[in-house]
């Protein structure tokens, strides 16, 4: 991996934190980013599909960010940048329409290379029913070596991470903000544990604050990393179901926990089941699905 290229890519991503898809026209013409400083704002406007005013500002900002000791600063804060050329960049993220150009990570980077990852997601307003469901779903998955992936949001995500940790399993949190702005505040201690003993990743540079539109983008990484997605509780119109849309686009397996027909939080999983998701109420059913797939391939 070329350190000079990494430095230039990180400097660009710091001032233009976009997905790889957005950068591809530029990278196709300038693969090492060695000519970026010489390009005119007009060229940048065409290559990056941005306004001329933005391109002018971007060129000036990029020149300035090249002077920042970004790599050293990230090291100081134990942030590991994982560019799309990094050997541990998850290959299945290239299946996304818009893979992250850079992932920023804290914790055990080797978890990215684990082949068995399962996403568990649900409503931020998840009830005790989600907690009870996770008591049955998470233990068999952890016992069989699955890394549990979720979004560190309040509610079902936090429950899934915590249950995994309590069982001695391994977990990856995908967040929607930079490391200087952990979100939400009430999950700060959980976030710290995952950063130290497990893995937190984000596609946003450290200074980026949480924004509403970051979370649907974050969801594609959760599904992209995972073999399948388990949904505990969700409203029919929710961010949880946007993750499922990404998962379906990427051919991931969808598992949904049936619930109380009088609860609005069960409407999301029931809709998914109606549309073909596999109903599950314990982790062994998820494992059986993969054992069956392996047997069919053989």
Instruction: Tell me the pLDDT tens digit for each residue of 129-144.
Output: 999 999 999 999 999 9
pLDDT, position 240: 80
CA distance 290 to 268: 24
Mean pLDDT, to the nearest integer, of 184-212? 94
Strands 228-231 and 199-202: unpaired
* Radius of gyration of the chain from its Cα atoms, rounded to whole angstroms: 20
Q: What does residue 153 show for φ and ψ, rounded to 5 degrees?
A: -75, 165
> In terms of pLDDT, which residue wins out, 250 or 58?
58
pLDDT, position 1: 57
Confidence at 298, pLDDT banded by 50, 70, 90: very low
CA distance 47 to 55: 10
CA distance 273 to 258: 8
Q: How crowded is the C-beta side of 38, counted as CA atoms within 13 Å? A: 5
Kindly tell me the number of DSSP H helices and DSSP E strands found in the chain. 12, 9
pLDDT at 111 over 90: yes
Confidence at 206, pLDDT banded by 50, 70, 90: very high
By the 10 Å C-beta count (0-12 exposed, 13-18 middle, 19+ buried), 28 is classed as exposed
Confidence at 210, pLDDT banded by 50, 70, 90: confident
**Is 12:34 a contact under the CB 8 Å cutoff?**
no
Mean pLDDT, to the nearest integer, of 61-88? 94
**What does the DSSP 8-state code read for residue 36?**
G
Q: What does residue 78 show for φ and ψ, rounded to 5 degrees?
A: 60, 30
Mean pLDDT, to the nearest integer, of 208-219? 86
pLDDT at 293 over 70: no
pLDDT at 297 over 50: no
pLDDT at 102 over 80: yes
Mean pLDDT estimate for the chain: 92
pLDDT, position 168: 97
Mean pLDDT, to the nearest integer, of 106-134? 95
pLDDT at 183 over 60: yes
**Is 44:38 a contact under the CB 8 Å cutoff?**
no
pLDDT at 294 over 90: no
C-alpha dist (Å) from residue 135 to 27, 225, 285? 47, 23, 14
């Amino acid at each position: 991996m070329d350190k000079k290229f990494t430095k230039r890519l990180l400097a660009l991503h710091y001032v233009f934190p976009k997905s790889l898809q957005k950068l591809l026209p530029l990278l196709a013409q300038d693969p090492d980013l060695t000519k970026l400083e010489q390009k005119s704002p007009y060229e940048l406007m065409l290559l990056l599909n941005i306004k001329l005013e933005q391109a002018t500002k971007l060129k000036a900002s990029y020149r300035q960010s090249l002077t920042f000791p970004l790599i050293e600063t990230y090291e100081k804060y134990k942030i590991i940048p994982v560019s799309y050329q990094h050997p541990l960049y998850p290959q299945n993220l290239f299946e996304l329409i818009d893979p992250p150009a850079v992932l920023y990570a804290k914790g055990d980077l080797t978890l990215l290379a684990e082949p068995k990852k399962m996403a568990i997601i649900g409503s931020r307003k998840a009830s005790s029913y989600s907690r009870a469901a996770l008591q049955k779903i998470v233990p068999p998955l952890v016992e069989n070596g699955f890394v549990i992936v979720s979004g560190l949001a309040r509610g079902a995500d936090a429950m899934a991470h915590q249950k995994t940790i309590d069982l001695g399993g391994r977990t990856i949190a995908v967040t929607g903000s930079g490391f200087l702005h952990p979100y939400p505040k009430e999950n700060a201690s959980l976030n710290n544990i995952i950063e130290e003993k497990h893995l937190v990743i984000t596609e946003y540079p450290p200074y980026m604050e949480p924004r509403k539109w970051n979370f649907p983008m974050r969801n594609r990484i959760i599904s992209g990393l995972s073999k399948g997605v388990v949904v505990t509780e969700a409203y029919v119109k929710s961010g949880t179901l946007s993750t499922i849309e990404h998962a379906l686009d990427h051919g991931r397996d969808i598992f949904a926990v049936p619930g109380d027909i009088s609860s609005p939080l069960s409407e999301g999983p029931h809709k998914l089941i109606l549309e073909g998701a596999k109903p599950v109420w314990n982790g062994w059913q998820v494992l059986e699905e993969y054992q069956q797939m392996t047997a069919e391939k053989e």
